[in-house]
Structure 1
Amino acid sequence: MRLGRSMRALSVALTIIGLMALWQIICWAGSIPEYILPPPSDILLRMIEDADSLYRHSLITLWEVFLGFAMAVVIGIPLAILLVYSRYISQSFFPIIVGIHCVPMVSLAPLLIIWFGFGLLTKVLIAFLISFFPIVINTTVGLRSMEKEMLNLAKSLRASSAQTFLYFRLPKALPSIFGGLKVGITLAIVGAIVAEFVASEKGLGYLQLMANSQLDVTMEFAVIFTLGIIGIGLFNLVGWIERLSMPWYHATRKEAD
């Protein structure tokens, strides 16, 4: 198992190195100006030179992402449970949730600034709104995916509603729930960055906005690379929690492969 993970990590690393090398060659061979497309070597050097600034702004963005995502999980999963177990709430609110999900959450940023100002709350709310709906919808779909035969088995074992939920419905729904969490954590990053574009004086979004105003393309790419590292790290963190929560699921997938 560890060998398989090591091989996957190695293949990803080699792919990234190959793409970076191709990018570097194109920049050198095509004599592309740095203000249009800087080579990866310059970007990495800039990341090292401005590591302190990138680190400080990354901590601010990560805090906004964490708070927004945590709100989405704490509110979204219980709401999904209510949607599954309450016919009234399901019929009344689920179509509304789907409809609101179709509205670009970014368009709400100016309103949130008017209501809550330029502070942390606005950025957290935007991260929350963008990550909230995938979590609710995926969790609802997962909780509704339990087969009728499994429900009949729970009834034949005289399981209570709580036992049916804990031992039958929830384990069946966990793959969908974690699918929503993986999408949600990446969208929370998008929400935080968009919020920093609109209303912030710190954070990676603000840093990129300042670099853009100064036509500092190398710094813009340094921020983009940093965001990519953060996104991959957070996605893998959710994946690690998923593996801890569902060892049987991943064992079954490995056997199938």
Structure 2
Amino acid sequence: MSGVWRGLAAAVLFVGLWQALVTLADLPPFILPGPVRVAGALWSNVGLIAWHAGITMAEVLIGLALGVGLGIATAIGLAVSPAARYLIRPALVATQSLPVFALAPILTLWMGYGIWSKVVMAVLIIYFPVASAFFDGLMRTPRGWLDLGHTMGASPARLLWGIRVPAAIPSLASGLRLAAVYAPIGAVIGEWVGAAGGLGYLMLLANGRVKIDLMFATLLVLAALTLLLHRSVGWACDRLVARLD
């Protein structure tokens, strides 16, 4: 069975179980609306949801680009500089003891209710996984490849960009796949704390007005966009790794 058919079968099974739960447990719509009611809310509010989805995706994509760029730069800096590994790496690991989500109120206080506090949240949540994965790949370059490069008189820069970075791309790809999932989480957490738009903001707004069907419709759109982003990043990573191989 192809991936498309497996995904379709899983979606049908999920909707069936969802409807069965609502029917058998006799749950009221303000607790768990059925899939038909949620689909109706999605259809009748498609323009509103699309507008807020655009805001969230802008936050996610900007945060993803910045977080990946910073993570790659940090990994390369740590890989080429023993001093940086000695001074900076322990500090980076120590920062992971602080829950990133706890910074959301502070970022909102400092940066306001616009998109940038959410962008920074997305950057913070994906930065370490990307940097850690790429650094690990850079440090695991096969010794034989490096010895061959030295034998051929390759400069340190040539060894880095011609051997170590290409060898570390599969590790970077793993970090990018995680980043594609984590970035929307960071953006939505920031929107829950304080925002003027976005899917997280719309979910809170719908919940406050007891429009639970709209809240679930927004949640499903968020899940679909996250899955699409993850698949797109995974596809791009697979193409890049295959090309390097």
Relative to the length of structure 1, the TM-score reads 0.90
2:182 corresponds in structure 1 to: 187
* 1:119 correspondence with 2:114: yes
1:3 corresponds in structure 2 to: none
1:238 corresponds in structure 2 to: 233
1:130 paired residue among 97, 102, 125: 125
Q: C-alpha separation between the residues in 1 aligned to 2:67 and 2:218?
A: 25
* 1:206 correspondence with 2:177: no
Q: Deviations over 1:44-74 (max 9, x none)?
A: 2211111101100000000011111111122
User: Does the 8 Å CA contact 2:19/2:34 hold for their aligned counterparts?
Assistant: yes
Q: C-alpha separation between the residues in 2 aligned to 1:140 and 1:218?
A: 44
Q: C-alpha separation between the residues in 2 aligned to 1:123 and 1:25?
A: 37
Q: CA deviation at 1:215?
A: 2.2
Q: CA deviation at 1:92?
A: 0.5
1:8 corresponds in structure 2 to: 3
Question: 133-142 or 106-115, which moves further after superposition?
Answer: 106-115
1:221 corresponds in structure 2 to: 216
* 1:46 correspondence with 2:20: no
Q: C-alpha separation between the residues in 1 aligned to 2:159 and 2:4?
A: 39
Q: CA deviation at 1:156?
A: 2.2
1:177 paired residue among 172, 176, 182: 172
Q: C-alpha separation between the residues in 2 aligned to 1:117 and 1:59?
A: 19
Q: C-alpha separation between the residues in 2 aligned to 1:26 and 1:116?
A: 43
Q: C-alpha separation between the residues in 1 aligned to 2:26 and 2:167?
A: 55
* Correspondences of 1:66-77 after superposition (within 5 Å): 66-77=61-72
Equivalent residues, number:
245
Q: Deviations over 1:187-215 (max 9, x none)?
A: 11111101111111111010000111122
Q: C-alpha separation between the residues in 1 aligned to 2:64 and 2:81?
A: 25
User: Does the 8 Å CA contact 2:100/2:124 hold for their aligned counterparts?
Assistant: yes
2:152 corresponds in structure 1 to: 157
Q: CA deviation at 1:118?
A: 2.1
Relative to the length of structure 2, the TM-score reads 0.94
Q: Which aligned segments of 4 or more residues in structure 1 are displaced greater than 4 angstroms? A: none
Fraction of identical pairs, as percent: 30
- Give the aligned residue type for 1:163: R
- Give the aligned residue type for 2:27: I
Superposition RMSD on alpha carbons, in Å?
1.6
- Give the aligned residue type for 1:15: A
1:33 paired residue among 28, 31, 46: 28
1:255 corresponds in structure 2 to: none
Q: C-alpha separation between the residues in 1 aligned to 2:201 and 2:14?
A: 28
Q: C-alpha separation between the residues in 1 aligned to 2:138 and 2:127?
A: 17
2:137 corresponds in structure 1 to: 142
Gaps of 5+ in 1: 1-5, 252-257
Question: 118-127 or 206-215, which moves further after superposition?
Answer: 118-127
Question: 28-37 or 224-233, which moves further after superposition?
Answer: 28-37
User: Does the 8 Å CA contact 2:108/2:190 hold for their aligned counterparts?
Assistant: no
